[in-house]
């Protein structure tokens, strides 16, 4: 049994701070034995340790604000499109990067301010970028050469100013 505890302890760095291995060699995250959660809810089960996520968000935000005071941090919602995660990001004051109307609807349901939602990807029509009920337009993140229409290509006559955020990656 001692070898089992030692082996499990070697991987604890992969889990949120405060994770432990109990005397029965079971992994404990956020005060819950993962085996007990799996027994109660089944598998696959996604476990999010909220305090650890909040701590990381704050750490990254502080680093960005320190180095680039005019920066804007957004959660890449493709990583985990979940209304509860969107709510957590909204409470922490950061935006959400969405790929389409479904992710945008979930972000709004999670309480994310429209002004903090960034739409990314190509082939977006004006209708796909705007929220017709509020008349708000989502900022758009363009990965390649921009091909932004000067007027609506979907037949509508409304114009929508598009805020463009570019992702700059070092290679």
CATH of domain 50-165: 3.20.20.10
User: Residue 83 in contact with residue 106, Cβ under 8 Å?
Assistant: yes
Average pLDDT over residues 126-135: 49
Angle between helices 83-91 and 50-67 (to 10 degrees): 50
pLDDT, tens digit (0-9, with 9 covering 90-100), for 100-125 = 888 999 999 999 999 999 887 765 65
Q: Starting at the earlier edge strand, list the strands of the sheet with 164-165.
A: 74-76, 95-98, 117-120, 140-141, 164-165
Distance of CA 116 to the CA centre of its chain: 12
Residues of the chain with CATH 3.20.20.10: 50-165
pLDDT, tens digit (0-9, with 9 covering 90-100), for 12-38 = 888 898 899 999 989 999 999 999 999
Q: Collapse the DSSP code of 62 into the 3-class scheme (helix H, G, I; strand E, B; otherwise coil) and give the result.
A: helix
């Amino acid at each position: 049994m001692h070898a089992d505890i030692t082996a499990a302890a070697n991987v604890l760095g992969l889990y949120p701070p405060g994770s432990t291995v109990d005397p029965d060699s079971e992994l404990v995250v956020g005060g819950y034995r993962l085996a007990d959660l799996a027994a109660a809810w089944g598998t696959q089960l996604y476990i999010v340790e909220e305090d650890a996520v909040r701590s990381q968000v704050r750490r990254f935000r502080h680093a960005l604000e320190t180095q680039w005071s005019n920066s804007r941090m957004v959660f890449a919602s493709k990583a985990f499109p979940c209304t509860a995660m969107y709510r957590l990001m909204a409470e922490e004051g950061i935006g959400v990067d969405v790929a389409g109307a479904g992710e945008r609807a979930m972000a709004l349901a999670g309480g994310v301010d429209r002004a903090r939602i960034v739409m990314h990807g190509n082939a977006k029509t004006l209708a796909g970028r705007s929220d017709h009920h509020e008349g708000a337009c989502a900022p758009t993140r363009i990965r390649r050469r921009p091909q932004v229409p000067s007027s609506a290509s979907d037949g509508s006559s409304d114009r929508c100013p598009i805020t463009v955020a570019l992702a700059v990656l070092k290679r």
